[in-house]
Amino acid sequence: MKIFLAQQNYHIGNFESNTKKIISAIESAKQQGGDLIVFSEMSVCGYPARDFVEFSDFINKCYASIDIIKQQADTIGVLIGSPAHNPIKEGKSLFNAAFFLYEQQIKAEVHKTLLPTYDVFDEYRYFEPAYDWKIIEFKGKRLAVTICEDIWNINDNVLYRICPMDKLMLQSPDVMINLSASPFDYTHDEDRKSVIKANVLKYKLPMFYCNAVGSQTEIVFDGASLIFDKAANLCKALPMFEEALEYVILNDDGTIAAPVIEPASRVPDKQLNPESLEEELNIEQIYTALILGIKDYFEKMGFTKAIIGSSGGIDSAVTIALACEALGKENVKAVLMPSPYSTEHSVDDAVQLSKNLKNSYEIIRINDVFEALLSTVRPLFHDLPFSLAEENMQSRIRGNILMSIANKFGYILLNTSNKSELATGYGTLYGDMAGGLGVLGDCYKLQVYALAKYINRNKEIIPENIITKAPSAELRPNQKDSDSLPDYLILDKILYQYIERRNGPAEIKAQGFDAALVDRVLKLVNMNEYKRNQFCPIIRISPKAFGVGRRVPIVGKYLS
């Protein structure tokens, strides 16, 4: 049996585009003599559709698309993902389903059993879990079809009371097929291999795993679809962050007619536990995920041009470089807005960056605007000393200018704040926290430096002085980040333990960090939730990103 995996990038709710893409892959597979083609979870409508599935019209369009697609499923079997009606009165009205199409008919439905409701997932809000489990008989093979999370309840990582494959094994299947929409993070690639390998080793069946690719606002799907033989050898790995259509032959004896890429003994069987943040993580994967996140956000929203505030600092430099790669240098405008406290070398560095990248830039000095604003509020401020209020005025002036240019010429403002700053509240609401998309909001400061080094891997794009100089907001004379924040080498490690690892203060202190510093950092994180709650969407690259994947109370007392 020749089985294809169609790893595709869908647009949520764009039924015409998604249907055309699915049909194109079916036609290609038929031309190559394919017997079965597998698409990813919710391929018909895109994932995650969230509250769109609460609209009956949305569900009707899913079924209308399936009716169109099934006409192409004549000589080939097709597995696609879509919401499905639940005919039983009790429970929620929808299933997260896989539809098996053949001979221009819907031959079977498979319903997702395990509905993740953690991190970025909220499936139990919309769907009813499966209440029966049936294999699909097709061309002499018995297919055990599952959907994404259904294969993750295995070994010691048990989150649910049931395991769908245990139910399906009672019907003696020949092969496992999983339709997935599994998001990228910098630990997930190897973790995913480990879980799939564990299923193969447990059930002694080959696994065909088809994952979605593409970015949906903040969530990036990396593809990396996999095929394992029944001995847990990796026989096919589709590319990361790219669309692909590939196949293997499943022999009658359950073996796979494809060379082994990784023997079973080499497949990692434990989750990565990165602690250094800037060195042990796969920066190339993070870089590519961010590029895809920017590119898809703009293409799927119909945007073309980006504007970015360019300060001569590391965060704006990396953001501009990423934007130029994702959108093309001709579609990126950098705006330099020096204030009375900006150093000339910062201006020079920002200019050199844009010259290296060949993107357009403007220099707009804000001295006069700043002085006019100070004069306006002076009767109210009286003779009170210079403080955070005056610092933030400069940031908000810059935000106002950037948004004005964006409104006038149709740009989208890309935000440059990093995760260390967002965590500790080191940013100005309605100033440098403005933007339509947070590019670096899930990257700690040390990761931003690692990205800069990666961008410069072949030649100097980001001027070396931007990388080596001490970071500064330059909102007052001789200001440095270290005036307000602990050294990033320490700060980022504490933040990682608290945010990603969910360790409390006692656990973090037990690792040897200064107790007073831990208390100070954690208090900063908690008291600045109100700022992050107003922030723009952030491209997710970590296991625990700010935004939809991390939900804590704004007014909570814990550690405050």
User: Which residues are catalytic, by number?
Assistant: 41, 112, 148
Cβ atoms of 307 and 413 closer than 8 Å: yes
Looking at the DSSP bridge assignments, the partners of residue 183 are 221
Q: How far apart are CA 203 and CA 166, in angstroms?
A: 9
Q: In what order do the strands lie in the sheet with 2-7?
A: 105-111, 94-102, 77-85, 36-38, 2-7, 244-249
What distance lies between CA 68 and its chain's CA centroid?
Answer: 31
Of 99, 124, 101, residue with least CA distance to 113 = 124
- The 10 Å Cβ neighbour count of residue 362 is 14
User: What residue has token string 């564990």?
Assistant: 198
Q: How far apart are CA 182 and CA 180, in angstroms?
A: 6
Q: How far apart are CA 116 and CA 121, in angstroms?
A: 6
Cα–Cα–Cα angle for 167, 170, 174, rounded to 5 degrees? 100
Q: What are phi and psi of 7, to 5 degrees?
A: -95, 105
CB burial of 371-388 (b: ≥16 within 10 Å; e: otherwise) equals eebeeeeeeeeeeeeeee
Cβ atoms of 163 and 132 closer than 8 Å: no
Q: Are strands 105-111 and 77-85 parallel, antiparallel or unpaired?
A: unpaired
Q: How far apart are CA 18 and CA 25, in angstroms?
A: 11
Alpha helices in 186-338 (DSSP H): 188-203, 283-301, 314-327
